[in-house]
């Protein structure tokens, strides 16, 4: 195990090349990180923070964090769950900590059957061969449901298993559902809702490192909050203020300011901690709001 005294830079494991890569690096950049890439392109060295990013396959991320090779990792909850079950089955007592679910990489792990097959309930899976890259999650789900079925492990292209005659059912990640459709499969049951998440080493960090990790987590929280938030400005009749405040999504205490030359109208400024949709603006207009402006929020720190 590495010594935290000799190495006081934070290491974050991020997917090298795949669906989570761009979002993960974008998140770190929004937290203020600027970096240069090592010659082998496997490490990004933080230039303005003691933070380095290791670029690896997503499947390796939980293990690297659990073994404390990396302090933090960004990986899908699907991989987190499968690895947790595997590590526990292998006797690991200290796993990584799941800390923050992030706002990208949304998908679900679902069972799908050929279009012509009737599926009524989990019992319909009894005695079937199920192709999946997530054998631990699927087996745990089948056990919980009390279903006896055979799990066939595929490391990729799971959706072709039924047409190859290798399985009757698949259990794979789905986002738009287009891949299943293209293979004449219908989604019938969801086992796990997933998205990217930040995980942390089970080992206690040295104080200096810990302070930086806390700082980074606070900034990540700020970035996530900002992406959801909007700043709204509008004019409102004083008489409609109560209704208008109630319509502002996720806003706490709006600022109310007088308007020059009129006593019965005021300006309302508020941070909405949820997106402001056209429907909300239309409802605000109906109760008397006018001159509405919705602006993005650049940074936010609670």
Comparing CA positions, the residue from 97, 94, 82, 70 lying closest to residue 15 is 70
* Strand partners of residue 235: 267, 290
**Helix-helix angle 135-145:77-89, to 10 degrees:** 80
User: What is the Cα 176 distance to its own chain's centre?
Assistant: 16
CB of 58 to Zn ion, least distance (A): 4
SS3 100: strand
Q: Choose the one of Zn ion, ligand PRT, none that binds residue 162, judging by a C-beta under 5 to 8 angstroms depending on kind.
A: none
Q: For residue 125, what is the DSSP state? A: G
Q: What is the DSSP string of 263-284?
A: EEEEEEEEEESS---HHHHHHH
**Closer of 66 and 78 to ligand PRT (Cβ):** 78
**Closer of 58 and 68 to Zn ion (Cβ):** 58
- List the interface residues with Zn ion, window 59-78 (CB under 5 A): 59
- List the interface residues with Zn ion, window 163-192 (CB under 5 A): none
Structure tokens at 43: 């490490």
# chain residues binding Zn ion, by CB under 5 A = 2
**Closer of 196 and 236 to ligand PRT (Cβ):** 196
Q: Are 92 and 35 in contact (CB under 8 A)?
A: no
**Helix-helix angle 21-30:207-228, to 10 degrees:** 100
Which residues 6+ apart lie within 8 Å of 23 measured at CB?
102, 104, 105, 196
**Closer of 71 and 172 to ligand PRT (Cβ):** 172
Q: Mask 22-61, x = binds Zn ion (CB under 5 A)?
A: ------------------------------------xx--
Residue numbers of the site for ligand PRT (CB under 6 A)?
15, 18-20, 57-59, 76, 78-79, 105, 107, 172-179, 194
The rounded distance, in Å, linking the Cα atoms of 23 and 74 is 10
CB of 79 to ligand PRT, least distance (A): 5
Pairing label, strands 185-194, 230-237: unpaired
**Closer of 59 and 103 to ligand PRT (Cβ):** 59
The rounded distance, in Å, linking the Cα atoms of 255 and 261 is 19
CB of 72 to ligand PRT, least distance (A): 17
Which residues 6+ apart lie within 8 Å of 28 measured at CB?
12, 14, 35, 51, 53
**Closer of 194 and 229 to ligand PRT (Cβ):** 194
User: What is the Cα 271 distance to its own chain's centre?
Assistant: 23
- Give the residue nearest to ligand PRT (CB): 76
CB of 17 to ligand PRT, least distance (A): 6
CB of 142 to ligand PRT, least distance (A): 20
Q: Choose the one of ligand PRT, Zn ion, none that binds residue 78, judging by a C-beta under 5 to 8 angstroms depending on kind.
A: ligand PRT
CB of 99 to Zn ion, least distance (A): 21
Q: Choose the one of ligand PRT, Zn ion, none that binds residue 100, judging by a C-beta under 5 to 8 angstroms depending on kind.
A: none
Q: Choose the one of ligand PRT, Zn ion, none that binds residue 172, judging by a C-beta under 5 to 8 angstroms depending on kind.
A: ligand PRT
- Cα–Cα–Cα angle for 107, 113, 165, rounded to 5 degrees: 115
CB of 250 to ligand PRT, least distance (A): 26
Q: Choose the one of ligand PRT, Zn ion, none that binds residue 176, judging by a C-beta under 5 to 8 angstroms depending on kind.
A: ligand PRT
CB of 104 to ligand PRT, least distance (A): 8
């Amino acid at each position: 195990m590495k010594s935290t005294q000799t190495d006081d830079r934070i290491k974050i494991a991020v997917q090298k090349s795949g669906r989570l890569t761009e979002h993960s690096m974008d998140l770190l950049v929004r937290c203020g990180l600027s970096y240069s890439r090592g010659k082998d392109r496997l490490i990004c060295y933080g230039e303005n923070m003691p933070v380095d990013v290791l670029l690896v396959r997503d499947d390796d991320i939980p293990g690297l964090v659990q073994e404390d090779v990396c302090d933090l990792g960004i990986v899908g909850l699907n991989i987190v769950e499968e690895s947790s079950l595997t590590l526990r089955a292998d006797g690991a007592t200290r796993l990584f900590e799941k800390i923050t679910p992030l706002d990208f990489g949304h998908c679900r792990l679902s069972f799908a059957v050929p279009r012509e097959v009737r599926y009524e309930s989990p019992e319909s899976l009894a005695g079937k061969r199920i192709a999946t890259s997530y054998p631990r999650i699927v087996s745990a789900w089948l056990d919980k449901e009390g279903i006896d079925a055979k799990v066939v492990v595929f490391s990729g292209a799971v959706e072709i298993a039924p047409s190859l005659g290798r399985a009757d059912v698949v259990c794979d990640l789905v986002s738009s559902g287009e891949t299943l459709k293209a293979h004449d499969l219908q989604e019938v049951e969801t086992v796990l809702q997933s998205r990217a998440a930040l995980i942390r080493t089970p080992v206690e960090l040295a104080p200096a490192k810990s302070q930086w990790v806390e700082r980074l987590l606070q900034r990540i929280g700020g970035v996530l909050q900002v992406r959801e938030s909007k700043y709204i400005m509008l004019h409102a009749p004083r008489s409609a203020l109560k209704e208008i405040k109630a319509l502002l999504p996720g806003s706490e205490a709006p600022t109310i300011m007088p308007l020059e030359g009129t006593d019965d109208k005021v300006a309302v400024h508020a941070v909405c901690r949820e997106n402001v949709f056209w429907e909300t603006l239309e409802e605000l207009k109906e109760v008397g709001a006018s001159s509405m402006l919705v602006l993005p929020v650049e940074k936010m720190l609670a």
